[in-house]
Amino acid sequence: MRFRSAQYLRHTMAHLLAPSLLSADFANLQQAVELIETSEAAWHHLDVMDGVFVPNITFGMPVIKALRKHARKPFDVHLMIVRPEQYITAFRDAGADLLSVHLEASTHLHRTVQAIKAAGMKAGVAINPHSRVDLLEDVLADLDLVCMMSVNPGFGGQQFIERTYARIAALKELRAKCGSKALIEIDGGVSAENAGKLVAAGADVLVAGNSVFGAADPRTAIRTLVGA
């Protein structure tokens, strides 16, 4: 397991940055992974899309497995696929350290979360912008991470949904009520403009695709977002 406390647990001061490879050059993914490895970013964020749960298709286990050889930092794998429970051990074997499934895609979410943990990974649940945060109440204590979507999943470079701030506040309150230690990860439309406000609102992990790999200098963009 590649998680060490400094890479996983949020310490008082620092939030974690997980650049998303979705916005990297797919012909040069190894290079993108190596950039993340040698930067201040904590995790790699890998977006798996199936063309069914979301209207886009990206990559799956073979690509993740190939990239794993070039990385030591944790792989934060975000599944935007239907029936994610069918592929838990396959993603573990490919090299996922943290596996997030969508609340909206897993009928037996409680069982899926237990299966992810039993497979030796950290368990995350991703939640779409329209789904009530309250729906997490009965699984929150079991989670290591909530991936709160701040865009509708499927594409990089979309506009951040402002209502996310109110949703972070609701999730923080629910997390305290449930005695959960789940990290709050914000995914979609994160940039240098809103990163500081998101961290102040309670974000523990920021995912950033376009604002890192769309930048003229991705390394500087990472430094800015880590320092937000």
Nearest to 209 by CA among 224, 197, 221: 221
As a whole number of Å, the end-to-end CA separation of the chain is: 28
Active-site residue, from 47, 50, 97, 144 = 47
Q: Is 45 in the site for ligand DX5 (CB under 6 A)?
A: yes
Question: Which residues 156-195 are close enough to bind Zn ion by CB under 5 A?
Answer: 187
Query: CB of 50 within 8 A of CB of 58?
Result: no
Catalytic-residue membership of 187: yes
Cα–Cα distances in Å, from 58 out to 78, 79, 86, 92, 170?
11, 11, 18, 18, 31
Query: How many residues interact with ligand DX5 (rule CB under 6 A)?
Result: 21
Active-site residue, from 50, 76, 144, 187 = 187
When the beta carbons of 137 and 193 are compared against ligand DX5, the nearer one is: 193
Which residue in 60, 95, 124, 153 binds ligand DX5 (CB under 6 A)?
153
Q: Is 156 in the site for ligand DX5 (CB under 6 A)?
A: yes
Give the nearest residue (CB) to Zn ion. Answer: 78
Query: CB of 206 within 8 A of CB of 16?
Result: yes
Catalytic-residue membership of 76: no
Q: Is 78 in the site for Zn ion (CB under 5 A)?
A: yes
Contact letters for ligand DX5, residues 70-89 (x by CB under 6 A):
--------x-----------
Count other Cβ atoms within 10 Å, centred on residue 86.
Answer: 10
Stretch in the footprint of ligand DX5 (CB under 6 A) among 88-96, 109-117, 168-176, 204-212: 204-212
Is residue 96 classed as helix, strand or coil in its secondary structure?
coil
Stretch in the footprint of ligand DX5 (CB under 6 A) among 67-75, 138-146, 156-164, 217-225: 156-164
Q: In which element (H, E) is residue 177 found?
A: helix 164-178
**β-bridge partners, 185:** 147, 205
Rg of the Cα atoms in the chain: 16
Query: Which sequence positions are flagged as catalytic?
Result: 47, 187
Q: Which residues contribute to the site for ligand DX5 (CB under 6 A)?
A: 20, 22-23, 45, 47, 78, 151, 153-154, 156-158, 187-190, 207-211
